[in-house]
Structure 1
Amino acid sequence: MRNPYAAAYVAGAVGTGALGILVSVRNATLGHPPPYAARHIARQVLSRLFGRWMSRREASRWAFALRAGYGPLLGMGWGLVRMRTSKWPLVGSGVLLGLGVLAFERMAFPLFKATALANTWSRAEHVWLFAQTALFGVVTEATLRQLVK
């Protein structure tokens, strides 16, 4: 792909798609969606924004829209800063992206009151958040490497 920004946008979308597959496994393993599930975040944040409690169905629709924008934008941001890590091994560079996303989310969740406090989450929920951000990072980086030669 000639346009590196378009490639980064597409890579973020592919990373988001891979994350969507992992979410089913995560929820089944935990036995419930974690506090940072996209629909929970959509429900918390947008209910306050709209001034009314959103239904579960509305929250699920908004969650899809939020993921559809968030992942590709993260991919574009990564495309802007990955110059130094593009020569690193795939997993190292991808996990670095995942750690960046994890740090951003751990900062943003309490700031926007999007989730219950992290100290109330189970150990498994913390592990799954790391796993999903790492997967997003590795898949996004792998896609970007394929698109930008």
Structure 2
Amino acid sequence: MRNPYAAAYVAGAVGTGALGVLVSVRNATLGHAPPYAARNIARHVLGRLFGRKLSRHEASRWAFALRAGYGPLLGMGWGLVRRRTSKWTLLHSGVLLGLGVLAFERAAFPVFKATALANTWSRAEHVWLFAQTAVFGVVTEATMRWLVKEEPTTP
């Protein structure tokens, strides 16, 4: 793909799509959706914004919309900064992206009152948040590498 910004957008969308599979496994393993599930975030944040409680169906629809925008935008942000890590191994570069997303989310959740306080989450919920951000990072970076062929540098 010639346009690296378009590639980054697509890569973020693919990374988000990969989370769809992981979310099913996560919820089944936990026995419930964690506080940071997109549906729960939509319910908290948008419910306050709209001044009413969202139904489960509404929250699910908004969660889809939030993910559809959020993942590709994260991909585009990564596309702007990944030049320095594109020579790293896929795992190192992808996990770095995942850690960046994790740090951003851990900082943003309390600011936007999007979730219950992190100290109320179970250990498994913390592990799953790390896992899902790492998967997003690795899949997004793998997609970027597939879509964007680096130009060889000449001396």
TMscore range, shorter length: over 0.9
Match of 1:147 in 2: 147
Match of 2:43 in 1: 43
Q: Deviations 1:103-146 (Å, cap 9, x if unpaired)?
A: 00000000000000000000000000000000000000000000
Residues of 1 paired with 2:113 and 2:20: CA distance? Answer: 23
Cα drift, residue 15 of structure 1: 0.1
AA in 2 matched with 1:129: L
Match of 1:92 in 2: 92
- Which secondary structure does the structure 2 equivalent of 1:78 belong to? helix
- Which secondary structure does the structure 1 equivalent of 2:52 belong to? coil
Q: CA RMSD in A?
A: 0.3
Residues of 2 paired with 1:13 and 1:54: CA distance? Answer: 26
Match of 1:110 in 2: 110
Cα drift, residue 5 of structure 1: 0.1
What TM-score do you get using the length of structure 1 for normalisation? 1.00
AA in 1 matched with 2:108: A
Match of 2:58 in 1: 58
Residues of 2 paired with 1:39 and 1:122: CA distance? Answer: 18
Cα drift, residue 77 of structure 1: 0.1
Q: Deviations 1:62-94 (Å, cap 9, x if unpaired)?
A: 000000000000000000000110000000000
- Which secondary structure does the structure 2 equivalent of 1:83 belong to? helix
- Which secondary structure does the structure 2 equivalent of 1:36 belong to? coil
Structure 1 runs not aligned, ≥5 long:
none
> Which structure has the larger Rg over C-alpha atoms?
2
Residues of 2 paired with 1:54 and 1:14: CA distance? Answer: 28
- Which secondary structure does the structure 2 equivalent of 1:32 belong to? coil
Residues of 2 paired with 1:128 and 1:52: CA distance? Answer: 30
What TM-score do you get using the length of structure 2 for normalisation? 0.96
Cα drift, residue 23 of structure 1: 0.0
Moved over 2 A (4+): none
Residues of 1 paired with 2:132 and 2:121: CA distance? Answer: 16
How many pairs align?
A: 149
Residues of 2 paired with 1:99 and 1:135: CA distance? Answer: 10
Cα drift, residue 35 of structure 1: 0.3
Residues of 2 paired with 1:18 and 1:54: CA distance? Answer: 26
Structure 2 runs not aligned, ≥5 long:
150-155
Residues of 2 paired with 1:37 and 1:116: CA distance? Answer: 11
Match of 2:153 in 1: none
